[in-house]
């Protein structure tokens, strides 16, 4: 059974700092990995999707990497802003359509 772990569970940083969020998964037979953002009381917004054949994806200040063989992914956020404060969720998809989620990392960026 696939399990996804996210470390740290919570992170507080000053504005402008670069930061890294970590995600690990137990079964490397994945189809893709996605990073989502969830604002309090709201749904999820997809940030980046990395196919299993890819090593990384970039969108603006966000960069996500994937090391499938070791079961790890990182989300790098450059020059963090208060508006980046949210919960960041990692999810992996197997050969079927099921997404397995981690519990998330609660990020607070202080002005």
Partner 1 sequence: ETGVTQTPRHLVMGMTNKKSLKCEQHLGHNAMYWYKQSAKKPLELMFVYNFKEQTENNSVPSRFSPECPNSSHLFLHLHTLQPEDSALYLCASSYGQGGKETQYFGPGTRLLVL
Which residues of the chain form contacts with partner 1 (CB under 8 A)? 4, 31-32, 34, 36, 41-46, 49, 51, 89, 91, 93-104
Nearer to partner 1, 34 or 65 (CB): 34
Q: Under DSSP, is residue 77 helix (H, G, I), strand (E, B) or coil? A: strand
Nearer to partner 1, 14 or 43 (CB): 43
**Which DSSP letter does residue 59 get?**
E
Nearer to partner 1, 85 or 94 (CB): 94
Q: How far is the CB of 2 from partner 1 (least distance, A)?
A: 11
Q: How far is the CB of 87 from partner 1 (least distance, A)?
A: 10
């Amino acid at each position: 059974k696939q399990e996804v772990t996210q470390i740290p569970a919570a992170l507080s940083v000053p504005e402008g700092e670069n930061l890294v969020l970590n995600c690990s998964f137990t079964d490397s037979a994945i189809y893709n990995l996605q990073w989502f953002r969830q604002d309090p009381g709201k749904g999820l917004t997809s940030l980046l999707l990395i196919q299993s054949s890819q090593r990384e994806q970039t969108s603006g200040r966000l960069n996500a990497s994937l090391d499938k063989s070791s079961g790890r992914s990182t989300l790098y956020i450059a020059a963090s802003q208060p508006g980046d404060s949210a919960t960041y969720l990692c999810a992996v998809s197997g050969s079927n359509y099921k997404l397995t989620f981690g519990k998330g990392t609660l990020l607070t960026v202080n002005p």
